[in-house]
Amino acid sequence: MAIISFNQVSKRYPGGFEALKVVTFSVEAGEMLFLTGHSGAGKTTLLKLIAAIERANGGTVLVNGQNVSAMRPAAIPYLRRNLGLVFQGQKLLLDRSVFENVMLPLVVTGQPYREAARRARAALDKVGLLSRERANPVTLSGGEQQRLCVARAVVNRPAILLADEPTGNLDAAYADEIMEMFHAFNQVGVTVLVATHDQQLIGKWRKRVLALYQGKLL
Amino acid sequence: MRGWFQHHGLSLIQTFARLVRSPFATALNVAAIGVALALPLGGYCVLSNLELVARRISMEPQLSVFLAEDAGKAEIAAVETQMKSARGVRSVRFISRDAALAEISRTAGMTEVIASLPRNPLPDAFVVTLSGSDPVLAERLGVEFKALPKVAHVQADSAWVRRLDALLRLGRTAVVLLSAMLGLALVAVTFNTIRLQILTQRDEIELCRLIGATRAYIRRPFFYLGALLGLFGGLAALAMVLSALAFINHDLVKLALLYDSSLRLQFPHLDEMLLVIASAMALGWLGAYLSVSKHLLEIR
């Protein structure tokens, strides 16, 4: 069953720039795939449409059977709770500890503290940062910060993991580490969609690839 | 559900912690709100004290009719008869000059003064109680009695009470206007404070939206912030007004002792104080609401 499906989706930004032009594809539940293309090809826009951060101008975006393009604003938070997002700009809160950063998605969704803390530590353990839980994110290396973002994205046990250039400025060893983690999540049933322009990475992992070129799917 | 309660508690604690973490800014905000509330509250306290005094003085309309010094017994009796027969007069009480002198010399500090006088300077007088509190009646009778033979002077005792009453009413209007204006100032202060807070927490708000925070979740801490600012401001206002009253009373007691009286300012009642705090919190919340409604829309 398709967990994400785009049907003739177009996105034009105010000012006239057409980021996506009549895009149609679907992703099966439990699949892991890459989204690739040059910068400006529309990768980030596509991910934003899935998470309802942007709204399509035409066509329908279905996520988990829900029509995201026609969703009430009040329903959007509940959609996002099913998604794990690894953002391009990391968006770590630097006034809190590593542990508190991972706690945030659980606090936001109103989990009782004890259970939330247990899950946050489990997520930190999975990405190898449990020993750094009290540290400030600033003191982490680039690779560790990215792993922290992954922990934050998966702590809520989302059905879908969306990652935007997760290996962007990491060297090959760290990039592999991150991809191994995504693969491990995919093995336990999480649908993983990774946007990257890193062709080496794509070549190494041999997954389905959606290639965007100037807003069109090739 | 437990998580929801925990979040309420947590956001209250975090908001409180945020206030404590920037003590200087918080103190200034609280002081601004406190002063804005203390002015109308102080005015209200002064007014209610004056009202208390005004009420203690009899509102019964009376005329004091002072006779000429050379009035004889027969003439006094004639005046009394005439006044008793006038319409609108309930009772007439005669106070002889000796009785008046005796009464005054009982008043503190006056004994020596009276004793030092070569002769009694007071005239004979009547206290005329009227049957209605109609000011026109009092005025008409005043003119009428003034025209009687051997009447030197007529004084309407209720006139100044009425004047005081009118003044108090004016004062009450002024306090209401002042409260409205400074209430607006309180809303403005919280509006701005919350705007700044939203700007400093911009990243966090953006992130929380992306990981599935509801609108209520994001707005809640700011509502708490507004209400907490109102609460502290209200407490500050009470502290200012109560200490001012205590300060004035301290001096007033000394002054009243000199006059052998027990004059002192009443403190506001507990329910009045609670009302002040509740309104301050409500206004703070309102400022937060307006600010959040306007500024959170700007963050996507």
Contact B213 A77 (CB under 8 A): yes
| Whether B26 and B123 share a structural domain | no
Residue A10, beta-bridge partner list:
A58
| Whether B178 and B287 share a structural domain | yes
Q: What is the mean pLDDT of residues A192-205?
A: 90
Each residue's pLDDT tens digit, B85-129: 888 888 888 888 888 888 887 776 777 777 788 888 888 888 888
Separation CA A75–CA B214 (nearest Å): 9
Q: What is the mean pLDDT of residues B28-33?
A: 90
Separation CA B40–CA B45 (nearest Å): 9
Separation CA B158–CA B38 (nearest Å): 33
A 10 A CB-CB count for B73 gives 8
Looking from the CA of B48 toward its CB, the CA atoms found within 13 Å total: 12
What percent of chain B shows pLDDT beyond 90? 28
Distance from CA of B230 to the nearest CA of A (A): 26
pLDDT at B1: 62
Is B269 an 8 Å CB contact of chain A? no
| Whether B52 and B89 share a structural domain | no
Each residue's pLDDT tens digit, B255-290: 877 776 667 788 888 999 999 999 999 999 999 999
Phi then psi for A85, rounded to 5 degrees?
-115, 130
| Whether B70 and B108 share a structural domain | yes
| Whether B193 and B267 share a structural domain | yes
CATH number at residue B78: 3.30.70.3040
What is chain B's mean pLDDT, rounded?
Answer: 85
pLDDT at A47: 93
pLDDT at A206: 87
Q: What angle do CA A62, A66, A69 make, to 5 degrees?
A: 60
Each residue's pLDDT tens digit, A36-46: 998 888 899 99
Residue B128, beta-bridge partner list:
B63, B92
Split at pLDDT 50, 70, 90, the class of B244 is very high
Distance from CA of B210 to the nearest CA of A (A): 7
Q: Which domain holds residue B217?
A: 2-57+162-298
| Whether B212 and B275 share a structural domain | yes
Which tokens hold the place of B136? 């026109």
Q: Could you tell me if A3 and A28 are in contact, meaning their C-beta atoms sit under 8 angstroms apart?
A: yes
Overall number of domains in chain B: 2
pLDDT at A7: 93
Separation CA A112–CA A102 (nearest Å): 14
Helix B23-56 to helix B158-200 angle (10° resolution) is 170
pLDDT at B300: 63
B109, B141, B156: which is the final residue of a domain?
B156
| Across A11-15, A208-212, B122-126, B221-225, least confident range | B122-126
B115, B135, B156: which is the final residue of a domain?
B156
A 10 A CB-CB count for A64 gives 16
Q: Is B133 a residue whose pLDDT tops 70?
A: no
| Across A72-81, A206-215, B85-94, least confident range | B85-94
| Whether B88 and B225 share a structural domain | no
Strand pairing class (B151-156; A208-213): unpaired
pLDDT at B255: 81
| Whether B123 and B80 share a structural domain | yes
A 10 A CB-CB count for B127 gives 14
| Whether B127 and B187 share a structural domain | no
What percent of chain A shows pLDDT beyond 90? 66
**Of residues A32 and B2, which shows the higher confidence score?**
A32
Each residue's pLDDT tens digit, B148-199: 888 888 887 666 667 777 888 898 899 999 999 999 999 999 999 999 989 9
Query: Which residues of chain A lie closer than 8 angstroms to B208, CB-CB?
Result: 104, 108
How far apart, in Å, do the first and last CA atoms of chain A sit?
23
**Long-range contacts from B131-135, C-beta under 8 angstroms, 24+ separation:** B131/B88, B131/B89, B131/B90, B132/B61, B132/B88, B133/B59, B133/B60, B133/B61, B133/B158, B134/B61, B134/B88, B135/B61, B135/B159, B135/B162
pLDDT at A211: 92
Q: Could you tell me if B202 and B208 are in contact, meaning their C-beta atoms sit under 8 angstroms apart?
A: no
Split at pLDDT 50, 70, 90, the class of A140 is very high
Q: What is the DSSP string of B189-204?
A: HHHHHHHHHHHHTHHH
B112, B138, B156: which is the final residue of a domain?
B156
| Whether B45 and B132 share a structural domain | no
Q: Is A182 a residue whose pLDDT tops 90?
A: yes
Q: Could you tell me if B88 and B137 are in contact, meaning their C-beta atoms sit under 8 angstroms apart?
A: yes
Q: What is the DSSP string of A81-120?
A: TTEEEE-TT----TTS-HHHHHHHHHHHTT--HHHHHHHH
Note whether ipTM > 0.85 here: yes
pLDDT at B23: 86
Residues of A (104-133) whose Cβ lies below 8 Å from B = 104-105, 107-113, 116
Residue where the block lists tokens 């009480």: B93
Is A137 an 8 Å CB contact of chain B? no
Strand pairing class (B62-67; A216-217): unpaired
